[in-house]
Amino acid sequence: MAPPHPAGTKGERDQLRQEMTDAGCDLAQISMEMRFRFRMRPREAWRHAHGLTLQAAADRINALGSCRPGVQLAADASLLAKFEKWPAASGRRPSPQVLVMLAEFYGCDVADLLDYQDRMSLPAADLQLLEQRSVPPAPPTLASPPRAAEPQGAALAEAAADESAAWAMWAESTNVGDLACEQLLADVRALAAGYLAADPPLRVLAAARAMRDRIFALLEGHQHPRQTRDLYVLAGYLCGLLAWISSDLGEPHQADTHGRTAWLCAELAGHDGLRAWTLSTRSKIALWDGRAREAITHARRGAAHRAPGTVGLLLACQEADAWARLGAVGEASEALARVDEARAALHEDDDIGGLFSCDAFRSLNYTTGVALRTGGAATALSEAAVALALPARRAYGTEAQMRITLASAHVALGHPEGALEALQPVLNLAPEQRLAPMAARLREFAADIARSQMADARTVSHLQAAVEHWCLDSAPRHAALPPGAPGALA
Flag whether pLDDT at 138 surpasses 60. Answer: no
Q: 178-358, superfamily in CATH? A: Tetratricopeptide repeat domain (1.25.40.10)
Res. 429 pLDDT band, cuts 50 70 90: very high
Say which range, 280-284, 458-462, 486-490, has the weakest mean pLDDT: 486-490
Query: Per the omega criterion (within 30 degrees of 0), is the bond before 425 cis?
Result: no
d(CA 42, CA 48): 10
DSSP 353: B
The answer to whether 2 and 214 are in contact (CB under 8 A) is yes
The answer to whether 406 and 400 are in contact (CB under 8 A) is no
Q: pLDDT digit string (tens) for 71-108?
A: 556 677 788 888 898 888 888 888 888 888 888 888 88
As a whole number, mean pLDDT of residues 377-391 equals 93
The answer to whether 55 and 62 are in contact (CB under 8 A) is no
Q: What element of type H or E holds 457?
A: none
Res. 28 pLDDT band, cuts 50 70 90: confident
Summary mean pLDDT of the chain: 86
The answer to whether 21 and 54 are in contact (CB under 8 A) is no
d(CA 86, CA 43): 10
Q: Is 125 helix (H, G, I), strand (E, B) or coil?
A: helix
The answer to whether 426 and 440 are in contact (CB under 8 A) is no
Flag whether pLDDT at 349 surpasses 80. Answer: yes
Nearest CA-CA partner of 337 in 355, 349, 348, 323: 323
Residue 126 makes CB contacts below 8 A (sequence gap 6+) with: 95, 96
d(CA 121, CA 417): 56
Flag whether pLDDT at 2 surpasses 50. Answer: no
d(CA 418, CA 396): 20
The pLDDT value recorded for residue 133 is 55
The pLDDT value recorded for residue 244 is 97
As a whole number, mean pLDDT of residues 158-179 equals 78
Amino acid at position 332, single letter: A
As a whole number, mean pLDDT of residues 386-409 equals 92
As a whole number, mean pLDDT of residues 300-327 equals 97
d(CA 86, CA 4): 11
The pLDDT value recorded for residue 216 is 92
Distance from CA of residue 87 to its chain's centroid? 21
Domain residues of the chain, as ranges?
10-140, 178-358
Say which range, 134-138, 311-315, 342-346, 415-419, has the weakest mean pLDDT: 134-138
Percent of the chain with pLDDT over 90: 49
The pLDDT value recorded for residue 343 is 93
The answer to whether 469 and 462 are in contact (CB under 8 A) is no
Flag whether pLDDT at 370 surpasses 90. Answer: yes
- Direct distance between the N- and C-terminal alpha carbons of the chain, in angstroms, rounded to an integer: 22
Q: pLDDT digit string (tens) for 186-207?
A: 999 999 999 998 888 999 999 9
Whether pTM > 0.85 for this model: the answer is no
- From the number of C-beta atoms within 10 Å of its C-beta (0-12, 13-18, 19+), residue 291 rates as middle
d(CA 196, CA 394): 8
The answer to whether 279 and 302 are in contact (CB under 8 A) is yes
